[in-house]
Amino acid sequence: LLLACLDLKPEKLYSLGGRQELIMGTSPLLTLVLLLLVRGTNAFFIKERRSSIELPPADGLRIDGLNPSRFTPPTEVGLVLAVDNPNPVLSWWIPPPSSFKNRGLRVNTSRLSLKLASENEDGKLKEVWSRLIVSSSSSGRNYRYDGPALQPATQYCFAVSYQSGLDGNWAKESELACFEMGLGADPKSWLPSTWIGDDELKVLRSEFKIPTELLEKAKAARLYVSGSWGQYYINGEQISTNESLGVGWTRYDKRCYYATYSILPLLKKSENVVGATLGQGWRDTVAFPPKFQAQDERTGIDLGFRARANIEQITPGRGNLSDGFFAVNPSWTQRTVRMLINLQTTDGKWHTVAYTNKDTWEGTLGPVLNDSIFNGETYDAREAVKIAGFSTPEYQASASDWTTVADISYETWVKTTKLVAQPIPPIRVQESVRPYSIKLVEMSDDGKKGHFLIDFWKNRAGVCRVKLPKGEKGSNITLRHAEVVMHEPYGYYGQDGKYLYYENLRSAKATDVYIFNGDEEEEGQFWQPSFTYHGFRHLELIGWPCGVGDGGDNAAGDADDDDFFGKPMWWTQCANPPQIEMIHFRTDVEQHGHIQTSDDMINSYWKMVVGSLDSNIMSVPTDCPQRDERLGWMGDTGSSADISAMVYDIAPFHDGFLDLIEDDMLSNGTIPDVVPFYRYGNQQADPSWSSAFIFVLFSRFHISGNLEPYKKHRDSVKLYLDNMFRQYEERGRLAMMVATGDLWGTYGEWEVANETDRPPHTFVSAFNWILTLQQASEMAESAGDAHLAKLYAKNASDISREFLQVYYHEDQHSFEFGSQTELALALRLNILNEDEAADVGDFLNHRLQADGEDQGNWTVGMYGFKYILQSLTKSGHADTAYSLLKSTPNPSVGFMLLNDFEPASTNLWEVWDAIHQDATGNSRQHHMYSTLGTYLYELAGVVGNQEHGFGYSQQKPLQLAVQGVINNLTHACSKSKNAFGPFEFCWSAPSFDGVIPDDDPPSSSHFTVTLPTGSYANITMPLLQTKHHRAKRLRIVESENVIFEGTVDRDSMDLPHAPLPGLDSLSFNFESYTLDFIVSSGKFNFSLSQQPVSN
C-alpha cells in the first residue's frame, strides 16, 4: 500500500529528505524496507531527482568497438552494422562538462537502456533491457550485455544516461546507437544456400523473382555474403560502393567473415538479378599456400606447401595462370561466394528470396584477366562490353559465354568453418593523393605514347585511379608501382630504361594493366583496379596515349597547380598529360591521435609513424604493404600495439585479431609467428613473437582501459602461459639455456643497426617472457582473478631473479655484453633497485656520448628501439634521448628522413641502412619502428605512457608535462583517447639549454588541457632555474582568474589557491623544481608567470 501510494518505480533515482539518494532496484519493496530501517521517517520525504543544470550527454557509443555512425542506416542501401556476438560489449564515454562550475564532474551511476528498434510504445522505442551501473571510478567504460537473448536478424538500439556525482542530477539520455544481430551461430540459418565458385569464373549472376504481394508487405531486406574479394550488385546497382576488397582475412577452415547489406530500395516486383564480380584476394594459393593443408581434395595427391604443376595433369579447371605455370590449389577454390537474400515483411517474418546454389547461378570470365594482391590486375575493356548490364533483368546471357557455377561444399575447409558477422570495420578509401610531380622520361618512336614517372610524395597502400584518354583498341597502359627511384648502388637512374627500383618487391610484380576497347569516352571515364593493392610512392606509367604535341622540352610540374585536371600545361610533347591520383585505403579505423610541435623534424617523424601504421591496417596488421609478404607477423604487431591504440580507434581491429590468434592456437597453447598462419613462420613461435597475444590484450587495457578482451580470452591466456612455462622448464630454465647455447627463439632482436651489438636470442626471449608475465598478472588482478595474478606475478619474479643472476654484472653496471638493447630492456623491466637502475642508466648514457663506445650512434633493433629513448629519459638522461632522436648520421631515424637518395616522407624503413642493403628484406614501409610514436607523445607532454598507459583509471591518472625546458621545444599539442574518452593537451614554454643567465627577463608558460568526464590528470610544469635564484615569485591564472600569486621556495609544498572547480590540488616540488597540478573532468586554461627572487 505504501509502495503504491509513493508510486516508486524500479531503477529510478530519488532524493531522500533532500540529503540522500536511493536507486530503486528490481525489488522496490525490499529497497524501501531497507531504507526505513536506515533512515526512519525521513524516508517519507521522497521525490524523484531531475536535472536542473546542463550535463553533456554520453557520446562515443560503440557496439563491440564498432561505431554505428560509420555504417549505413538500416533503411538505406549499404553496409549495416551487424554482430553475431550474443553478448556484445556496449561502450561509451562522457564529454567534458560544458560549464565552469561542473568541471571535476564525477559519475555516480550510469544507466544503459536497450531498445527494440522495430517496436514503439507511445512513439518511443520499446525498452527490452536496462542496467544500472554504480561506479565512481569512470564515466562509463565497457559493459558486456547480460540481458535476455538477442534475436537473430533483429534491430536494437542502446542509449546511456548518467547521474552526476556533484549534485545527483541526471543527464538526458544520449542519442541512440543502433545495430542489428546477424544470422547467429546456427549453420542452418544459412540454408538453403551453399558455397559456390570456380577459379575461372570471375563474374556471376542469378535471376530470382519476388511475388508482388510479398514485396508490398516488405519492410526490410538483407543480403548476407561471404567469400573471396567481391563487388555485389542488385538490378544493375552496386551495393558495395563504400567498401574496398571485400570481407576480411581469416583462417578459412576456422571462420569466414560475412557482410550484411541493406537492399530493400533496390528490389523490384517479379524479376530481379543479383550479380557479383570476384577476385582472389587472400585466398590466392599461388602466393598463400596454406600450411595446414597439403593434399588436393579431389585426387589425394600430396602437393606440399608450395606445390606447382600443370593443372591439366592434376585438377582441370582449378588453377590460375601465373608466370607460365598453373598453381595447384591444395585446399580451396580461390574465387568463391556464399550468399543469402532475405526479405522481412510487416509481420516480422523473414523470407528467403535468393541464395547461392549450383542450379540458379551462372558465371563468365569477365574483363579482369588476372588479379593478385601481389602481382596486380589486368583489365581488358574489350571484355567489359560483353558483360555490360549483367546484373539487370534485361541482360541476355549468351550460352556460349556463361556456364554453371560449381558447388564446392565438398572442400575440407567448408566442412569445418563457421560464418561470423565481420567484427572489424571494412576496408575503405581514406584519401586520394594528387601527384607531387610528373615527369615525361621517354616518348615512343612515333611520338604518340609517353613514358612517365609520377611521384606522389606519400608512401601509401592502395591503387591508382586514372582518367582514361582515348586509346587504340587492343593497346594498353601499364602501371608499375614502387617505393624507390633507382639510385646507386642498385643501378643508375635511366640506364637501360630503369627508372624505379623494384627488387625490394621480390617476386611481387605490383603491375596493373588496362587494355583499351577503343571507344572510351573522351571525358569523364575513370578506371581503377578492383582486386589488388600496392604499397608505393612512385609510379611508372608506360604506353600513355599522348596524341601529337609540338615537340617542346620535357618538364616536371608542380601538382599543387589548381588547374591540374585541366588542359596540359607542364610539357608540350604530350598533348594529353596523365590525369591520375593515388587512392589510399585501409581498414576503416578512425584516427584520434595527433601530435604537433614547434620542431619540424619531430612533426616529420610523426608523419612517418602514422604513415607506417596507416598502410598496414589491412584486415590484419600486416608487416608491409608492398612486397610478396604482407602478413600478420606477431612480432611487429605486439611491438606496435600501444602506439596503434594511441593513434587509432583500434579496438575492433585488435579484438578481431585476438580471435584469429586463438583460431591458430593449438590445443597445447602454442601460437604461430604469423596470424593467420600462412606461408612463413613457425609454430611454436619465437617467444618474443608469440608474446604479441599478451601485448595486444594489455594495450586494450593499458591504453583503452578495457578488460573485456582479457576476460574473453583468459582461458587461452592461461593455456598459452602454461605452455610457455612448460617450455621454459623443459629447456632447463634460463641458466641451462645459456650454458648449452639454447637460443630459445628464431628472431630475437630483429634488424639491429649494428650487428656486433646483437644480443643473444635467449636474452630477448627472456625479457619478453618476463614482461608478458608482468602484464598478464596486472590484467588478472584488475579482472579479479587473484589466484592467476599471484601465479603470474610469482613466475615473473622468479624468472626476473634468474635473469639478474645470469645477465647482470653489478660491478660493471651492465647486462650481458652491455649493448644498447640489453641495457634498455633491462631498465624497462623495473627489476633493479633505485640505485642499480640509476647506475645502469648512467652506463647506457655514457655509451651514447661522443667519447663513449657508440659515439652517439644507434645500435639497437626492433625491441631496443622501442624502449631505449624512454629508458634514457626515465634514468635522468632526457637530453641524450633527444639528441639521439635528432641525430642524422647513418644509421638513425634522421637519416631515413634526410638522406640524399630517398628521403622518407610518410614511411619508416624495415632496415636501418635500406639504401645500401639488398632486396631480401628491405621494405620502406614497416610499422615495427612505429613504436617511436610513444616517445613522440612523451615529447609532446603525455609522459610515462609505456609504463603508466593513458590514464586508464582514477588510481592511475593521465601523466602530462610541459616539456620545453628539457628539449628546447617551445610548444606542442597532443590528442588521443583513453578509457574515459578523447583528451587534448597543449602547452607553450620558454626554451633554453641548461641554466639561464641571471639577467633573463621574467618568463611565462601556458597550457590547456581538455579531459573527458571521469578522467584525471597529473600535470607537471617545470620552473626555470637560474644560477643564483632558487626562490620564485609566481602568478598562476586559469581562464583570467588568478588562483595563486606569491613566492615559492624550498619550504613551499601545497600551495594555497583560490577555489577552482576541477582543480584538486596545486603543489610545488622543490627537488624537481616543478609545479604539480591535479585536475579532472573539464577544459582548463592555465598561465604561469615567474620572476626570479634574490636569495
DSSP label at 1012? E
The pLDDT, as a whole number, for residue 39 is: 46
Confidence of residue 1002 (pLDDT cuts 50, 70, 90): low
CA distances from 303 to 180, 245, 292, 306, 328 (A): 43, 29, 12, 7, 8
CA distances from 1068 to 668, 1047, 1063, 1065, 1076 (A): 55, 11, 15, 10, 6
The pLDDT, as a whole number, for residue 1031 is: 77
Cα separation, 907 vs 926, whole angstroms: 7
Residues 921-960 have pLDDT tens digits of 889 999 999 999 999 999 999 998 787 788 777 778 899 9
The pLDDT, as a whole number, for residue 699 is: 96
What percent helix, strand, coil does the chain show, rounded to 5?
A: 25, 30, 45
Average pLDDT of 684-705? 94
The pLDDT, as a whole number, for residue 991 is: 65
Cα separation, 730 vs 473, whole angstroms: 68
Confidence of residue 303 (pLDDT cuts 50, 70, 90): very low
Residue type, 556: A
User: Which range, 9-13, 132-136, 146-150, is most confident?
Assistant: 146-150
Cα separation, 136 vs 773, whole angstroms: 29
Residue 291 pLDDT exceeds 80 = no
Residues 828-843 have pLDDT tens digits of 999 999 999 999 999 9
Residue 795 pLDDT exceeds 70 = yes
Confidence of residue 387 (pLDDT cuts 50, 70, 90): very high
Instruction: Calculate the average pLDDT of the chain.
Output: 86
Residue type, 468: L
Cα separation, 622 vs 630, whole angstroms: 5
Residue 1082 pLDDT exceeds 90 = yes
The percent of residues in the chain predicted with pLDDT above 90, rounded, is 69
Cα separation, 542 vs 279, whole angstroms: 25
Residues 111-143 have pLDDT tens digits of 999 999 876 766 689 999 999 988 655 445 889
Residue 766 pLDDT exceeds 70 = yes
The pLDDT, as a whole number, for residue 1 is: 39
Residues 628-641 have pLDDT tens digits of 999 999 999 999 99
Confidence of residue 1000 (pLDDT cuts 50, 70, 90): low
Average pLDDT of 992-1017? 76
**Which of 603, 605, 604, 631 lies closest to 616 in space, CA to CA?**
631
Higher pLDDT, 2 or 911: 911
**Which of 650, 615, 699 lies closest to 905 in space, CA to CA?**
615
Residues 180-228 have pLDDT tens digits of 999 998 999 999 999 999 999 999 999 999 999 999 999 999 999 999 9
> Which uninterrupted H or E stretch holds 699?
helix 692-702
Three-class SS state of 143: strand
Higher pLDDT, 565 or 525: 525
19-28, 151-160, 977-986: segment of lowest average pLDDT: 19-28
The pLDDT, as a whole number, for residue 1095 is: 56
Q: How many CB atoms lie within 10 A of CB 819?
A: 27
Instruction: Give yes or no for a contact between 732 and 806, defined as CB atoms under 8 angstroms apart.
Output: no
**Which of 583, 499, 581, 482 lies closest to 539 in space, CA to CA?**
482
DSSP label at 367? S
924: Cα separation from own chain's centroid: 19
Residue 287 pLDDT exceeds 50 = yes
The pLDDT, as a whole number, for residue 310 is: 30
Average pLDDT of 418-437? 96
Residue type, 181: M
Residue type, 237: E
296-310, 563-577, 856-870: segment of lowest average pLDDT: 296-310
> Which uninterrupted H or E stretch holds 821?
helix 820-828
Higher pLDDT, 567 or 415: 415
**Which of 290, 416, 295 lies closest to 676 in space, CA to CA?**
290
Instruction: Give yes or no for a contact between 476 and 451, defined as CB atoms under 8 angstroms apart.
Output: no
Higher pLDDT, 312 or 195: 195
The pLDDT, as a whole number, for residue 398 is: 85
CA angle 801, 807, 811 (to 5 degrees): 100
The set of cell numbers assigned to 536 is: 608505393
Residue 535 pLDDT exceeds 70 = yes
Residue 434 pLDDT exceeds 60 = yes
Cα separation, 891 vs 857, whole angstroms: 7
Cα separation, 327 vs 332, whole angstroms: 12
The pLDDT, as a whole number, for residue 242 is: 79
Higher pLDDT, 1014 or 967: 1014
